[in-house]
Structure 1
């Protein structure tokens, strides 16, 4: 789960130019000023990086970073990626 969160933070700060000081597990994507288009782009980016499907219907600004991390981690476990060391595809 830590690798997923670390990647999420890196993606938010590098690709979406979110200030690293603003990134905390309890912050929502909306708190970080990501609009609906940016949230969908984040989901697509995570899907491509980890090679997993994510339900884009769940891509809302109200989602916390902790919830998103858990969603990705759960999908990785279901997909078997965690069993392969959690490495992205």
Structure 2
């Protein structure tokens, strides 16, 4: 099963053309130059892929990638589909 973090990286590279060299667990969505509309689009993409509901309050450009992966993984776990965020610590 693909980890949440790995899927997040794939989406950032494929859909948002984020620079692979800039994608690190501690990078924020803002540091990857995603504006507020792109952040919302990313959240919708993740919700559709994983089938989880993400809170609007979680859609922050200042959120680090590893925290976003953990948030999605927590939602999956709460929904009964236990998984590891896969984000390097």
- TM-score norm. by structure 1 comes to 0.88
After superposition, give the CA deviation of every residue in 1:10-44 in whole Å (9 maximum; x if it has no partner): 00000000011110000000000000000010000
- TM-score norm. by structure 2 comes to 0.88
Structure 2: 5+ residue runs without aligned partners?
84-89
Structure 1: 5+ residue runs without aligned partners?
84-89
After superposition, give the CA deviation of every residue in 1:56-86 in whole Å (9 maximum; x if it has no partner): 2210110000110000000000001227xxx
User: What residue number does 1:15 align with?
Assistant: 15
Higher helix share: 1
Task: Please tell me the root mean square deviation across aligned C-alpha atoms, in Å.
Answer: 1.2
User: What residue number does 1:58 align with?
Assistant: 58
| Segments ≥4 residues shifted beyond 4 Å | none
User: What residue number does 2:28 align with?
Assistant: 28
Q: How many residues are matched? A: 82
